[in-house]
Chain A
Amino acid sequence: MSKAEQQPRKVYGMLAEYSNPAKLIRAAKLVNRAGYQKYDAYSPFPIHGMDEAMGLKESKLGYIVLFHAILGFLGALALQIWTSSIAYPINISGKPFMNIPAFIPVTFELTVLLSAFGAVFGMFFMNNMPRHNNPLFSSQRFEKVTDDGFFICIEASDDFFDEDKTKKLLEDAGAIHIEHIFTLEDR
């Protein structure tokens, strides 16, 4: 602790705790309405209506999956057309070299495979995963989030972040505890 007093630590964000899901929703609504962008709500279980309260838009994941599906579809067709009708044509029971029906199973499988990859890895990417640590883990109180804690963290990098105003907003929303979270690098 003494080391921290010597040099000012960089604030990562402000963490506020709320007593129940209803209060968390209300707080998220207020934070959203105040114009904050870089904030997140944390709870032990999914809360219905949280997406609307936080003003979250439809996930972009679908477009990532669609892109990969099209890539898989065209890639599989291109691969098979090139290998079996251009690069190394083999006569298979007199069927045409450009045998589209025979290409469909592989095309289908590759479309599904790449869509699944797109969905899983796209989800990781959009959630900033995998990462080794998160500044929030330094908070003792935050451990309650897997049990009975309901939190909102507003990041300091948000344009609207202001030491006093943000604190006041979170308090007005009914926070039972507010603390600073510091970035990991400066510790």
Chain B
Amino acid sequence: MAKTKPVDDLTFPQNTGILRVLFGIGALGLIASFIGFFVDSKQFHFSYLTSFSYLASFSLASLFFVMLHHITRSSWGVTLRRIPETFSYQLFIVAIMFIPILFGMEYLYKWTNPEILATDYLAQHKEPYLNQPFFIIRQFIYFSVWSFLGYRLYKNSVKMDENADWGIETLQRKISAPGILLFSLTVAFASFDWLMSLDFHWFSTMFGVYYFAMSFQAFFAMLILLGLFLRGRGLLLNTITRVHIGDAGKLMFGFTVFYAYIAFSQFFLIYYANIPEETLWYYHRLEGNWSVISYSLIIVRFAAPFLLLLSKAAKSNFTLLGISSVIIVVIHFFEMHWIVMPTLHYHGFNMHWLDITTLLGLGGILLGFFFFQFQKHSMVPKNDPKFLESLNKH
């Protein structure tokens, strides 16, 4: 821990080293993945979709967090808000990253296959929704909504840094209120399109909120890790205090329970109704060594953070928070893998090297852009009317 300075620097030190490392990892990962595309293009697309859904979930949950903050006029997390703002600003990069999936639809989604469409009754039945042109149009709508919201909210916030115009706060609220409505609809349908339609026979009306619950839990883990990272570098020691990180910890704990509630409810309804076309999805995931992942999701993603963070003191204990956050961020990837991969490897869990290269490739680029953008402006919304209230929180 660096020595506490009486005054915090509000900008991230201009450091090209971290950018070079992250972009380097990203570029290497992408090159390796590109080679993998020619080696095993089916595997490439599934790995890419896994990594994409994993990384997009952080930016999407960040956008939700920022809008929620504006709507409720919260003051507690104003000092933390620039981190999710920067992540939601990146959504246009996430949109660009979706393009390979559009080109790989015939590898990923069986409903695009004309032979299956000719013989499968359910594919014909769902064709008005699940057809390629409409799929592409929908993706266009989702990403334009998200990119617009993320871009506007970030730019307005940065503008407020410069001119301290309090009217912008009202404007942010006006954007966020309809934004959060659009967000909930688009994220639900996006999760149906990206992940649920991999197995087009299967459906779950809870899948949208399931994807959101996973993402929001993992988002708090990421927020805590970045907060601890900044503090570890001796930045914002008096601005992002134990109280702010502790509050994020409380929310992470809360959304751990929310995630478990939603994930179990989805499983439970299908298990209890026992209708073959619904149960098949879980049947694949409880067969072979996929069941190891299924059971470890209960233990690692719910029970471990729940028990670790149950006591009041633990929620502001940096070591315990850090451990739980790392666990959640890692298991979030495995859960995404567990959702996507059984379509391809239905016989058992199988970690392919392309899973890692696509994750490193996309992750390196996104985190690189995050720090690139984070260095450009103040690390906190310093002229926000509620900033002082947030600083004095105890």
Q: Which residues of A are at the interface with B, using a C-beta cutoff of 8 A?
A: 58, 62, 66, 93, 95, 101-102, 104-105
Taking CB atoms, residues of chain A closer than 8 Å to B272 are: 101-102
Distance to closest chain B CB from A57 (angstroms) = 12
CB <8 Å contact, B268 and A105: yes
CB <8 Å contact, A62 and B311: yes
Taking CB atoms, residues of chain B closer than 8 Å to A105 are: 268
CB <8 Å contact, A101 and B274: no
Q: List 8 A-B contacts (CB under 8 A).
A: A58-B313, A101-B267, A101-B271, A101-B272, A102-B272, A104-B264, A104-B268, A105-B268
B3 adjacent to chain A (CB < 8 Å)? no
CB <8 Å contact, A62 and B264: no
B352 adjacent to chain A (CB < 8 Å)? no
> DSSP majority for the A interface?
helix
Name which residue of chain B comes closest to A105, CB basis.
B268
Distance to closest chain B CB from A103 (angstroms) = 11
Give the CA-CA distance A93 to B272 in the complex, in Å.
9
Give the CA-CA distance A63 to B318 in the complex, in Å.
22
B312 adjacent to chain A (CB < 8 Å)? yes
Q: Which 10 A-B pairs have the closest CB atoms?
A: A101-B271, A101-B268, A93-B274, A102-B272, A104-B264, A62-B312, A104-B268, A62-B311, A101-B267, A58-B312
Name which residue of chain A comes closest to B311, CB basis.
A62
Taking CB atoms, residues of chain A closer than 8 Å to B312 are: 58, 62
Mask, B250-275, CB within 8 Å of A = 1, is 00000000000000100110011010
Distance to closest chain B CB from A105 (angstroms) = 7
Taking CB atoms, residues of chain B closer than 8 Å to A93 are: 274
Distance to closest chain A CB from B32 (angstroms) = 41
Mask, B264-288, CB within 8 Å of A = 1, is 1001100110100000000000000
Give the CA-CA distance A58 to B311 in the complex, in Å.
11
Give the CA-CA distance A101 to B271 in the complex, in Å.
8
Taking CB atoms, residues of chain A closer than 8 Å to B271 are: 101-102
Distance to closest chain B CB from A115 (angstroms) = 11
Distance to closest chain B CB from A156 (angstroms) = 34
Known: A58-B312, A104-B268. 15 other contacts (CB 8 A): A58-B313, A62-B311, A62-B312, A66-B310, A93-B274, A95-B274, A101-B267, A101-B268, A101-B271, A101-B272, A102-B268, A102-B271, A102-B272, A104-B264, A105-B268
